[in-house]
Amino acid sequence: MRTPILAGNWKMYKTVGEAVELVEGLLAGLEHGAAGREVVVCPPFTALYPLSALLAETPIALGAQDMYPEVQGAFTGAISPVMLKDVGCRYVIIGHSERRQLFGETDESVNRKLKAALAHGLKPIMCVGESKPQRDSGQAEPVVVGQVRAGLEGLTAEQMQSLVIAYEPIWAIGTGDTATPADAQAMHAAIRATLVELYGSEVAEGLRLQYGGSVKPDNIDELMAQPDIDGALVGGAALKADSFLRIVKFQ
């Protein structure tokens, strides 16, 4: 059984005060626990430390949105996996399409970051997803499967147990244009088939695949009803307590 994992990617939103307010709202809504679901929030770096104290011993885990794949050194502006562990992060998003498009992230840098995150006990959420032109030209599946293969290069079956993969079609992110549950399911099945090929069925069946891209309270239930969708990576709808709580409490 795969425990559903609902993660909020807050992107570059929320000051410390706003982040604390949002988390207080989420904790109030989850006072009876998260009923067999794993809940993660990924605020900006500046809010990690204050939130880690608030989230200790609660059903919500803390995650970061990116990291640099070195322990320490002369890397101005970068944050290391050791630093993320130090402030209480359990998860880290790696290779989000905004990082790939705006910050030059590649499959190779994603692979280095995955290895560094895992080496320091962080659980990576690796993001993959095709662009609109790639989907329109029938290339969505080979593009996504290629990203999965390249990103996972050299990772062991044991390391895969700490990994989550998020399928986020770029054209669905922040657009209100969600993939249909059937299209999302088809891609998730293709990703899982690739994992079977790479690591065998036991590892592949245990690994959680999130869908991301305009996940909202009104589409989460049908997405989560798909057999290979094990969670969601949520942007805009994770910025308000009531909408993220509704997503966490999908039926």
Residue 158 class from Cβ within 10 Å (0-12 exposed, 13-18 middle, 19+ buried)? Answer: exposed
Least distance (Å) between residue 53 CB and ligand PGA? 25
208-227 positions binding ligand PGA, by CB under 6 A? 212-215
Nearer to ligand PGA (CB atom), residue 40 or residue 203: 40
Least distance (Å) between residue 174 CB and ligand PGA? 4
Residue whose CB is nearest to ligand PGA in the complex, by number = 235
Span from 31-39, 56-64, 156-164, 228-236 in contact with ligand PGA (CB under 6 A) = 228-236
Whether 168 is a known active-site residue: answer yes
Verify binding: residue 234, ligand PGA, rule CB under 6 A.
yes
Cβ atoms of residues 37 and 5 within 8 Å: yes
Nearer to ligand PGA (CB atom), residue 149 or residue 216: 216
Nearer to ligand PGA (CB atom), residue 95 or residue 236: 236
Strand partners, 123: 91
Binder of ligand PGA out of 236, 241, 243, 247 (CB under 6 A) = 236
Question: CB neighbours of 191 closer than 8 A, spacing ≥ 6?
Answer: 128, 144, 145, 148, 165, 167, 209, 228
What is the number of helices (H) and of strands (E) in the chain? 12, 8
Q: Calculate Rg over the CA atoms of the chain.
A: 17
Binder of ligand PGA out of 47, 233, 245, 248 (CB under 6 A) = 233
Site string for ligand PGA, 15-34 (x = CB under 6 A): --------------------
Q: For the chain, what's the residue count?
A: 251
Verify binding: residue 174, ligand PGA, rule CB under 6 A.
yes
- Given the residues 38, 105, 130, 168, select the one marked as catalytic: 168
Whether 32 is a known active-site residue: answer no
CA of 4: how far to CAs of 47, 204, 214, 225, 251, in Å? 25, 15, 18, 11, 12
Question: CB neighbours of 142 closer than 8 A, spacing ≥ 6?
Answer: none
- Given the residues 96, 105, 120, 130, select the one marked as catalytic: 96
Structure tokens at 200: 């065998």
Span from 25-33, 206-214, 222-230, 243-251 in contact with ligand PGA (CB under 6 A) = 206-214
Nearer to ligand PGA (CB atom), residue 199 or residue 213: 213
Q: Give the separation between CA 83 and CA 57, rounded to whole angstroms.
A: 20
Interface residues toward ligand PGA, by CB under 6 A: 9, 168, 173-174, 212-215, 233-237
Q: Catalytic residue numbers?
A: 96, 168
